[in-house]
Structures are given as C-alpha cells and as structure tokens.
Structure 1
C-alpha cells in the first residue's frame, strides 16, 4: 500500500471526509483515488472496525494511539480470559446467555474506573459478564479473583 493510499484511508475512513474534501486535501483528482475504495476493501473494513470501537468509548484518544493499543492488546477478557471465538461458541451452544444485545463481543473496560477512557494504559478488553459484574465497586486485583471463578464456569460450558 502506498503512502497516498494510507492517507486516503485515513481521510475517508477515520476522518470521514467527502471525496471533494479528500481531493482538496490530497491535491489529486478523484479519478485517481476513487478506485482505491474498492481496491482497499479489506484494509478499509479493518480500519472501520477499529474506528467504531474508538468512537464508541475512546474518541478523546488520538486514533493512532488507540489503534496501537488495540493491535497490541490480547483479544480476550482480562479477568476470565475468554476469547471472542469462545464467546461465539458459547452463544451458539447457549443462545439465551443474556436477554440484552450485549455479550457477543469483547468490550473496552477501564481497570481503574475513576480514570478516563483517554488513558490507554488503563484500558483492557473484558467480556460483557465480567465488565457488568465488576462495575465501579471492585479493584482490578479483587476482580481478578472473581474472574478465576467465571473462567471455571466458562470452561465447563465450553465442554
């Protein structure tokens, strides 16, 4: 991928500029960059998924910092260690895990609830159940103990 294509994806996906705005900003014609939308579909889809997580909870953080955090963080619950693949398996096996719409994906959780989402060193991934149960009541250390119990339950249900 060229530097111009990276810039295009940043402007189109992250900054959400119109093609007219991109044309002005990049100083290239629309006919040159318009085909990139389809050509870069996989990269665009990947960036969109990160952007959506960023916008939902962490838009005060610079996108590049958030992306680095996302790409370097294990995609499993910090407390019970369940992965998204295991969560998907649980949902398939037990479709009534929760009546809510949450629970099918890992969520962004703050280890210390009084610190803002803008502090990326305070962020981890958590499953819905651990995130919901931890609330603002338990410390990270206290809830790691609870996570061990939840981990045992998931192991039994995943058999």
Structure 2
C-alpha cells in the first residue's frame, strides 16, 4: 500500500471525508479513489472492526484518536504477556482449548485497569487476553492482577515449550 493510499484510507474511512475533498487534497482523480476503495477492501474491513469496538465501548469522542491509540498498542496481554500469534500457535497445536473460542479468545480484548472508570479514559485501558480479562473481572485491582498475570505467563510459557 502506498503512502497516498494510506492517506486516502485515513481521510475517507477513518475521518469520513468525501471523495471530492480527498481528490482535491491528494490531487488524485475520483476514479482512482474508487479503484483504491475496492482494492483496499481488507484494510477497510480491518478498520471497520476497530470502529465497531470504538462505537460499542464509547472510547473517545473522535474515532481517529481511538484508532491512532489502538494502532500504537503493543499486541500482547498487559498482564501475562501472551501475543495473538502465540494464542494462535497454542490453538493450532491443541495445547489451548475453550468452548468460547468461536466468539472470544483468538484476539486480545480491552480491559479497564480500574473497572469503575469509564472506557473514555484511555490511560485506564489495556489490551489483555481473554483468560486474564475473564479472571480479573472487577474483583482484582490492576496491581493485584499484574501478580496473577505472572502465574498465567508461566503456564503459557510451559505450554509453548519455552
């Protein structure tokens, strides 16, 4: 994907700008923008999934702010450190199983470090795995669950043969 195409996606899909404004700003004819729109479908769908989470959780007033925050996150569980790639390997090898896997577990989730705070405080939000998110609930403090996460990390490392 070129820098111009990235800027097109940012302007159109993330910021909601119309083709006419984008064509002028990028100095690209509208037919090219239409072609890019189709060619970049997988990336548009990825952004749409992020927008869906933003809409559901009411993270920030401006989607672009949330999107930029989301893209800057390290893709591992804040508590136990497992990555989505490691989760996929454990699932594929049969060393990880949950009956919830069709709906939860393959991707990292959002957790509020302090559960009484709303989702719009981005300093309070971290990525975590389904297992840590499910176990933490609103019972443990952030600091308490960092300790629990160390034990969960040891289990994942053992299952991965590390």
**Which bracket does the TM-score occupy, shorter chain normalised?**
0.7 to 0.9
Give the counterpart of 2:133 among 118, 131, 134: 131
The 8 Å contact of residues 58 and 66 in structure 1, kept in 2 or not, is answered as no
The RMSD of aligned alpha carbons is 2.8
Gap change, CA 1:43 and 1:23, over 3 Å in 2: same
The alignment of Structure 1 onto Structure 2 pairs a total of residues equal to 153
Residues 111-122 of structure 1: pairs in structure 2 closer than 5 A? 111-122=113-124
Paired position in structure 2 for 1:66: 66
Gaps of 5+ in 2: none
Gap change, CA 1:23 and 1:148, over 3 Å in 2: closer
Residues 83-122 of structure 1: pairs in structure 2 closer than 5 A? 83-94=83-94, 97-100=97-100, 101-122=103-124
Within 2, Cα distance between the matches of 1:141 and 1:59?
A: 23
Q: Secondary structure at the match of 1:34?
A: helix
4+ runs deviating over 6 angstroms: none
Are residues 1:141 and 2:143 paired?
A: yes
Of the structure 1 ranges 45-54 and 144-153, higher mean CA displacement relative to structure 2 is found in 45-54
The 8 Å contact of residues 61 and 119 in structure 1, kept in 2 or not, is answered as no
With normalisation by structure 1, the TM-score equals 0.78
Gaps of 5+ in 1: none
Paired position in structure 1 for 2:51: 51
The 8 Å contact of residues 54 and 66 in structure 2, kept in 1 or not, is answered as yes
